[in-house]
A and B are shown apart, each in its own frame.
Chain A
Amino acid sequence: MSETPVLSVRDLVVEIPTRHAVLRPVDRVSFDIARGEILGVVGESGAGKSMTGNAVIGLLDRPARITSGEVLLNGRRIDNLPYAEMRKVRGRQIGMVFQDPLTSLNPLLTVGEQLTETIREHLDLSQNDAQERAIKALEEVGIPGARDRIDSYPHAFSGGMRQRVVIALALCAEPDLVIADEPTTALDVSVQAQIIALLRRLCRERGTAVMLVTHDMGVIAETADRVAVMYAGRAAELGGVRDVLTLPRHPYTEGLMGSAPMASMGQTRLHQIPGSMPRLGALPTGCAFHPRCNRAEARCRQDPAPTLAADQGRAACWFPIARDRATEEAS
C-alpha cells in the first residue's frame, strides 16, 4: 500500500486514572484503514473496541484520555488538535454511526432540520441547496418517499429507518472515514442485513473508509475486508478477514470462532473458552489471555504478549498456532 491510508493509528494508549490504579482500556493498538476499505474490530464487551473508536474521533469521556500514540487522518495528526479544530474534522472528515438509533437523533427536531444543520455546518450551502442535498442523502440510504418524509420527526420512523437516517447524517458531508459502533446490534436480523448491505454499497461507491466495531463474527465475515480482534485492550490478531476467521493463529480467536453455535453444528456441546475476560483493574501478568489459554507456557505468564504493528504480524502471541492455507487444505 503506497497510498497514504485514510486512518493510521499508531501505538494508541488510552488511560483512565482511578483512585487505586491507572487503567488502560486501550493498550498500544496500531492499525491502518485504506480508502474504500472496511476494517472490522471485534471483541467481547470490555475488550476496548468502542473506546478505540471514541479515541479516534476524539469523543473520550473524561477522565479517559489518550496518553501516548498517534492518530493520523490522511497523514495529518488529529489526536492533539484543539477542541474547535477537532469539531471541524468530526462530521466533515469523520462520520459516526452509533449503536442505538433512537438516542443518537434529537427527538425535538425533524429529520430534515438535523440533516441540513449538519450539512450547512460543514459545507458552504444555502438553506435550499442543503435541503435538496438532505433529500438526496435520504434517498441514497433507501428511505422511500424521502421528499415527503424529510419533515417528519424521528419517532415516526421504525428502528431500521432511523438507523438509515443516522447513516445519512454520518455521510451527508461526505467524510473520508466512517466509524460505525455496533450499527446493527439493536436491529432485527432482516433489517440488519439491509443496513449492512447499505454500508457496504456506500463504502464501495464513494471510497469511504469504514471502521466497523461489532461483537458479531458473522457480520464481520460478510462485511469487513480486514479484521482486528481485541482482547483486554490489546489487538490480539490482525489480518485479512478470510485468513483470520478460517485460519486463526491466536488461541483467543480460535476459541471465539469455536464458541459460535453455527461453527459447531451437529455437535452436542459447544467449544468453550474457560473463565471470562479479566477486569482492567486485575489484569494477569504476562499475556492477559494466559489463564484461559490451553497453549500457555512459562513465558506467557511472565512476558507481556508481543505488540502488533499495523503492517506486519498476525497474532500477538508467543506461541501462535502455526498453520497456512496449503497445509490446512491438504489435511
Chain B
Amino acid sequence: MATKTASKPGADTEAETIMVSVAGLTRRFDVSKPWLNRVVERLPKRILTAVSDVSFEIPTHSTYALVGESGSGKSTIGKMMVGLLPPSEGRVTVGGVDLSREASAEALDAVRSRIQMVFQDPFASLNPRWKVRNIITEPVAARGGDTEGLAEALLEKVGLSAEDAEKFPHEFSGGQRQRLCIARALSSNPDFIVCDEPTSALDVSVQAQVLNLMSDLKADLGLTFLFISHDLTVVRHMADRIGVLYLGRLVEEADPQTLFATPRHPYTQMLLAAAPKLDGFGREAALPVGEIPDPINPPKGCAFHPRCPFAIDRCRQERPELRDVAGSRTACHRAEELDVL
C-alpha cells in the first residue's frame, strides 16, 4: 500500500478525491414475450431487474473490484459505467460529470475520452480485418488526434514490439491479444478503465503476465480501475476495495484483507468456502446449498434467505440495507450476531 501512494507525487491530496461515484444505480430489462403473444396468451409483462440500487465510490488511483456469480449484474454495471447502457434509475458520475444527465455535449465528450474498457474475450473484441496500428490508434483517430508513433509507443508499453503494428489480430495468441486490447484502451490517455473479466479467457500463466502488466500500468500512469471478475483469488490480488454482488445488489463491501479474513455476509462466506484451494487436498468443503434464484421473481426480503443457514423470519420479510459493520459495509440483519457466533 505504501509503495502505491509514494510513487505518485502529491498523493496526499489526490488520494482523497473520488474519481467515480455510482449512486442508486438500477437497470431493468423488459424480457416479456412479443406484444401479440402477450395479448393472445394473456401474459403479464416480465421485468428483469439486473441491477438494483447499487452505490459505491472509487477513489482516484485505486482499483475497485466487483465480484459475483453469473446473473449477479456485474457486467451490466460495467456497461452502465462506460455509457454503453443507460441506467433505468440512479447515476454514474465520472470526474464530476453525470454520464446520463450532463446537458453540455462538450463536457460529456471530454469525459468519455477519459473512460475506456477492456472486454473479456480478446478474440471477439478486435476487428480481424484491421491492422493492429489502426485498432490501437482508433480512439485517438476518431477524435482527429495525432497518431504519429502512438501505436509503436503503446505496443512497447504493453510488452509487445513496435513491428507488431503492421500485423493483424489473428497473428497473436490470447494473452497477446489482451495486451492489444489494453494498448487500445490506453491510447486516448484515459484516467478510468473498466475491465470486464479481462483474464478469464486466458490460461493461468498468461493471466499472471496480464495481471502484472495491469499492476505496472496502474502504478506508472496513475490509472483508476473498475475490475469485474468472478474469480475471488484474482480480485484479492488486484483490488484495493471489493464489492460482492448477489442478484443485482451489493451485499458486502470491504478492503481485501478485511473481506477475506472476516467475511460478514453469509453469501461472501459461502463463496469463500466454495472456492477451490491449492492446498485443499481431499478437503470436504461445507457445500453451498441451492442456486441463484430467478431474477424475475426474486425472493421477498433478503434475496439470499432461501440459501442462508442463518435466516430468521425478519430476513424473509424485510430487505436489509448496506450498513457499516466493523470495517466493512454489509447488507445482513444478523451481521453483528454472527460475528459473535
Contacts and interface: CB of A to CB of B under 8 A. Distances in A.
Most buried by A among B69, B176, B231: B69
B288 A193 contact: yes
A269 interface: yes
A45 interface: yes
Contacts of B97: none
A88 B215 CA distance: 54
Given A189-B230, A189-B274, A193-B287, A44 B204 contact: yes
A32 B291 CA distance: 36
Interface in A117-174: 158-161
Interface in A222-259: 222, 241-242, 245-246, 255-259
Nearest to A245: B278
Contacts, number: 123
Q: Which of A190, A219, A260, A277 has the most CB of B within 10 A?
A: A190
A159 B70 CA distance: 11
Interface in A170-225: 188-194, 196-197, 215-219, 221-222
A188 B287 contact: no
Contacts of B285: 193, 197, 222
A262 B288 contact: no
Contact of A190 (B176, B212, B234, B270): B270
A276 B291 contact: no
A241 B281 contact: yes
A327 interface: no
Q: Is the interface of A mostly helix, strand, loop or mixed?
A: helix
Interface in B274-321: 274-285, 287-288, 291-292
B175 interface: yes
B334 interface: no
Interface of B: 3, 69-70, 173-176, 203-209, 211-212, 215, 230-234, 236-237, 270-271, 273-285, 287-288, 291-292
29 contacts: A44-B203, A44-B205, A190-B69, A190-B288, A190-B291, A192-B276, A193-B273, A193-B274, A193-B276, A194-B287, A197-B284, A197-B285, A197-B287, A218-B278, A221-B276, A222-B280, A242-B281, A245-B279, A256-B205, A258-B208, A259-B205, A260-B233, A265-B237, A268-B3, A270-B212, A270-B237, A272-B212, A276-B173, A276-B175
